[in-house]
Structure 1
Amino acid sequence: MLMLGAQVLLGFQFQAPFQDAFGQLSQTEKTLELLLLVIMTVVIGLLIAPSAHHRIVYDGRATASLDRFVAQMSELTLAPFSTALALNLAIAASRTVGITSAWITGIASCAFTTLLWYAPALANKGGKPVTTSDDKTPLEAKIDYVLTEARVILPGAQAMLGFQLAIVLTSGFVQLPSQVKTIHGFALGLIAISTVLLITPATYHRLVYAGNNEPSFHRLASRLLLSASIFLALGLAADTYVVALKISENSRIAVSLALIALVVLAALWIVWPWLLRRKTEREHA
């Protein structure tokens, strides 16, 4: 649910600059939109990081260390997501009821989400998670995990694809230079490929493996999931350039934010888990 909400909110950040009334925003509000674009990209990176670690570092096993990692990523994700939600609500409030109400709305949103999301977690710090040891994760559970992870990412990728398709029908998109439109088309294709790859494991499990749990299917599904995340990262980075250029009208800022997005996502989804895997392999060598 958090993934879908985050992807929809990121999709809004991508689509907002192409709305007709976006030009009426103040420079401060436009700067906030750039900040929100960065924040939501980081949120998406943190949300998908557990899946990448589960595939690369743990090979689909359920372990105590993975459980702790998922909890840590959840804690890290909620704060920026709460901030982004509060800022978006504040901008909406400033457009409807004025700047004073915008401040009140933003502060109230932060307080409300902090109370609901962090207070119970802090109160339950002493709880012990129930986990499975490294050598007791059955193949059936591993396959269930990889299919679940694909289902977690898929709705967000589909939402992003929908937002990207809707952008091409806006008047703001028509005004973009042809090379920028080409980059958006490239990003659109990358997200579409990611969506197809995320659907493929369930399709293969039904049609190719007849629902049977085989080690070869687990390996294939893991590779498809990791491949989908690579295409998703490239697509998000490419469209970050398009959106940042539309907001700032500054190519240097747009390129910088696109590179930041690509580096952050690649680090969280590829580099970090592979480094951890290499470290683990050396320790057990």
Structure 2
Amino acid sequence: MDVESRLKTALDESRLLILGAQVLFGFQFEAVFQERFPQISVESQLIHNVGLVLLLISVSLLIAPSLFHQIIFRGESKVAAIDVATLLAGASLLPLTVGLGISAFVAFDHLFGRTIGVTIGTVLTVIGLALLYGLGFALRRNGKTPMQETSKATPLKTKIEQMLTEARVIIPGGQALLGFQLIATLTKAFNELPALFKYIHCAGLCAVALAVVLLMTPAAVHRLGFQGEDDSEFFKIGSRLVIAATIPLAIGISSDVAVVFFKTTGSTSVALSAGAIALVALLGFWLAYPIWHRMRSAQQIA
């Protein structure tokens, strides 16, 4: 399989993984607005925060390869881009499976008690790790011929297909979060929030809505503006839209991280700090690092 095909496959696999992560990620946000959430134990509420952080890490790891590919590699199909996608996808599975176990623990602890909650959470985590890591390593083939870097430029058609795939990798998290954000505004728990966090939530909702629209725009522009034809100008526009969409997406996610932490801790300072840390971490990992890496590489070539 050539480099272009392997990279496309790696992106499709990230898309598949993030579809599973988005459901759990949405649960972490929506759960705190449910009427019975205040009835769960303080320990479970704090553990819920841990699950939120873990799933945030998983989602950020799954989105990052798309941005690295567009920013660092300028949309070119490179062996290094495949290696990054493989490494980050593999790393995302650990926080994803532990986050699954924590979500199950919170639900079953409330329904059936601590013992059942711990048991179900642990079993699901172990099964997840066994299937996602254990099976893969057990079937791993050694002695494969290493991929050869090609000197020719990636065909424009391939670059456009990969860019559109990357938009599809990123958009599920935004779609799920946007739906939960809209539903949350109609709950009794939302009305009980202080005005500050209502405004933060609404700002985050608008930011995620903008991110989703930006991620849908390349498909619309390609079809309406370029009649589905491959065009280098469209690739530049689409790539910039995909990259730009991650800024409001990071703002929206961080806003609701702050809201969730406030609902579970009751502390404004803790909540705002958690949101700020999430925002800096996401923008740093998704944008600042790949931009710095690209600039450093350009200086080394010069």
Question: Which TM-score bucket, shorter chain as reference?
Answer: over 0.9
Q: Is the 8 A contact 1:8 1:160 kept in 2?
A: no
The structure 2 residue matched to 1:217, chosen from 234, 237, 242, is 234
- Measure the CA separation in 1 of the matches of 2:258 and 2:118: 29
CA-CA distance at 1:156 after TM superposition: 2.1
Match of 2:248 in 1: 231
The structure 1 residue matched to 2:41, chosen from 5, 13, 26, is 26
- Measure the CA separation in 1 of the matches of 2:44 and 2:145: 43
4+ residue stretches of structure 1 with deviation over 3 A? 127-132
* Segment of structure 1 superposing worse, 121-130 or 217-226: 121-130
- 1:43 corresponds to 2:63: no
Match of 2:126 in 1: 111
Q: Is the 8 A contact 2:49 2:264 kept in 1?
A: yes
- Unaligned segments of structure 1, at least 5 residues: none
Match of 1:66 in 2: 81
User: In 2 relative to 1, CA 71–31 (structure 1 residues): closer, same or farther, beyond 3 Å?
Assistant: same
Give the alignment's TM-score, normalised by structure 1: 0.96
CA-CA distance at 1:136 after TM superposition: 3.7
CA-CA distance at 1:97 after TM superposition: 2.4
- Measure the CA separation in 1 of the matches of 2:105 and 2:149: 43
SS in 2 for 1:118: helix
Q: Is the 8 A contact 1:67 1:129 kept in 2?
A: no
CA-CA distance at 1:186 after TM superposition: 0.7
- Measure the CA separation in 1 of the matches of 2:76 and 2:166: 13
User: In 2 relative to 1, CA 131–254 (structure 1 residues): closer, same or farther, beyond 3 Å?
Assistant: farther
% identical equivalent positions = 36
User: In 2 relative to 1, CA 71–159 (structure 1 residues): closer, same or farther, beyond 3 Å?
Assistant: same
Give the alignment's TM-score, normalised by structure 2: 0.91
Q: What are the residue-to-residue correspondences of 1:104-183 with 2, within 5 Å?
A: 104-123=119-138, 124=140, 126=142, 127=144, 133=150, 135-183=152-200
User: In 2 relative to 1, CA 138–183 (structure 1 residues): closer, same or farther, beyond 3 Å?
Assistant: same
Q: Is the 8 A contact 1:62 1:131 kept in 2?
A: no
Query: 1:57-93: CA deviations, max 9, x gaps?
Result: 0011111111111111011100000000011111212
* Segment of structure 1 superposing worse, 16-25 or 275-284: 275-284
Q: How many residues align?
A: 285
Q: Is the 8 A contact 1:4 1:155 kept in 2?
A: yes
- Unaligned segments of structure 2, at least 5 residues: 1-15
CA-CA distance at 1:193 after TM superposition: 0.3
